[in-house]
Amino acid sequence: MEKKKKSSLKLSLWLIILLLIPVFLGGCGGKKEVEELAFIIGIGVDVGSEEGSYLVTMQMAKPPVGSESGGGEVENFTVSVEVERLSLLTEKVIEAFNKTPFTGTVRVIILGEELAQQGINEVLDYFQRFYQYRRTIFMLLAKGNAKDIMENKLRSSELPSLSMIDILEGQMEFNTIPVTRLGHYLTILGRVSQCPLIPIVEVIKPGQKEIEYSAEKGYEQLIGDSGIFHEGKLVDTLNDIETKGYLWLNDEVSGRYILIESDKFRVVARVTSSKTKYKVKEMEEGMGITFRIKTQAFLSEVVEKGEGKGIKGIKEWEDFVKEVEILLREAIQKECEEAVEKSKDIEMDFIGIGRKIEMKNPKYWKEIKDTWPEELVDFPVEYDIHIDINQTGLSRSGPGSFNK
């Protein structure tokens, strides 16, 4: 028994060693030292100066030479090359910068506005085909040129690409923009009825978009709004409210701050969780879709307006919370309606209503799919929104109500 065990162990060891051999057979053939590699974090693609060419901007993180900080500090090393096809960029970079670009570290792709208008699907073939690129890479649409966005000097000295990644990852907590990854974009392309969205990144100057700062050390960048793509081409954009409406309707909201206002008060509610479901059913106007949104929130700020006397009693407080719930429901519905309205106006189904019909009522979808999204214009959409304000902070009336 002991002998058998020993021989079995010996055999297993041999097998494992042999199984590892193919990995080591590669040995040092074609090896590249780390210093010879350029680790690309973000890639920007713009239309090139010649027809059919692309201006590719690569943002690399370069560890500072002789740095004593020891932290994760990196220097910005951004280069742009003009190529006929994206795959050729490696050759160009090697010729010019004696570094081999390593694309396995790419986390974000930024597409120039002009390129987006001409069509991005051809560009994406390279990212889909080459195994180093992950489908988890974020996609962004630049307002203007991708090169300008990537070469923007941020006030924080952080690499623009890294900052964009941080903003997009921050969307896990608060959702104000759709997060589009390469894989998601490609999946939506497969749904013939739906148009994919890509969030827009732009450089903002002091005073723009209600943001003030000193531009001495650089400019800030902002990701908001989103571009609608049809057959790979940018056909329109969604503003902030329409984008947020899209997020509600697609169950992509888990956190938000919403300002609501009546003639008596201004309240900011923080959404802590939300779930959107939908039903395709017969309505008075024919077959339609109902979005059922269940949201939980708490009040993070309450300010009374005018000559109110403050919310003092428990009963008054209960009525107030009910009123807030109604107003919050209306605010959410408004965002949803704006998104649906936009979708109907431009006859582009970026919300994926067609796909939702297909999921819930495939028979009906087969009847209308050939006339979709034209059919969308008259397609009835209803909302059934439930708000649950589960807490109101540490006080009822705040300091703003004391003197009233």
Partner 1 sequence: MERISTHQFIKLAAALVLGQSFLSAGSLSTMIAGRDGWIATFLGFLAGIPFILLALSISFRYPGKNFLQITEQVLGKWLGKIIGVIYILLTIRFGTLIVSQGVDMYTRTVLPIMSHYVIVLGILLIIIYLFYSGIEVLGRFSEVIYPIIFLSLIFIAIFIFPHFEHGELFPILADGLVPIIKVSVQVLTWPLGYILFLAGLLPFIPREKKEQKKMYKGVIRAVIIVSILSTLLVVVQISTFGPFEAARLTYGLLVLSNMVEVLNAISGVEVIFTLIWMGSIVLKSTALIFAGYWGIQTIFGIKGKIASIFLCLLYILIPIWLFRGSALVVSIWEMNQFIITPFVIVWLLILWGGDKWKRRKKAA
Binding-site ranges for partner 1 (CB under 8 A): 8, 11-12, 14-15, 18-23, 25-26, 29-30, 104, 131, 134-136, 169, 181, 183-184, 186-191, 250-251, 355, 358-360, 362, 366
Q: How many other CB atoms are there within 10 angstroms of residue 277's CB atom?
A: 11
Cβ distance to partner 1 smaller for residue 90 or 272 = 90
Q: How far is the CB of 30 from partner 1 (least distance, A)?
A: 6
Q: How far is the CB of 247 from partner 1 (least distance, A)?
A: 13
- Closest contact distance (angstroms) between CB of 158 and partner 1 is 17
Crossing angle for the helix pair 182-190 and 121-129, nearest 10 degrees?
A: 120
Instruction: Provide the minimum distance between the beta carbon of 294 and partner 1 in the complex, in angstroms, as a whole number.
Output: 16
Instruction: Return d(Cα 227, Cα 242) in angstroms, integer.
Output: 11
Report the distance separating Cα 198 and Cα 180, nearest Å. 6
Nearest-approach distance from CB 108 to partner 1, in angstroms: 14
Looking at residue 209, its amino acid is K
Q: How far is the CB of 27 from partner 1 (least distance, A)?
A: 9
User: Mind giving me the DSSP string for 160-228?
Assistant: HHHHHHHHHHHTTTS-SS---BHHHHHHHHHSTT---EEEEEEEE-TTGGG----TTS-BEEEEEEEEE
End-to-end CA distance of the chain: 90
Asked whether 99 and 35 are in contact (CB, 8 A), the reply is no
Both structure tokens of 72:
């994760």
Residue with tokens 């017969």: 282
The β-bridge partners of 57 are: 44, 80
* Smallest distance, partner 1 to C-beta of residue 206, A: 33
As measured in angstroms, the least distance from the Cβ of 218 to partner 1 is 26
Judge contact between 137 and 181, C-beta under 8 A. yes
Q: Which residues pair with 140 in a beta bridge?
A: 110
Q: Which C-beta is closer to partner 1: that of 18 or that of 314?
A: 18
CA nearest neighbour of 260 among 171, 172, 170, 387:
387
Bridging pattern class, strands 138-142 and 197-204 = parallel
**DSSP state at residue 292:** E
Closer CB to partner 1, 266 or 279, in the complex: 279
Considering the complex, what minimum distance in angstroms separates the CB of residue 245 from partner 1?
17
Unique residue bearing structure tokens 């002991």: 2
Decide the pairing of beta strands 286-304 and 381-391. Answer: parallel
Residue 396, classed as helix, strand or coil, is coil
Q: Which is nearer to partner 1, 219 or 364 (CB)?
A: 364
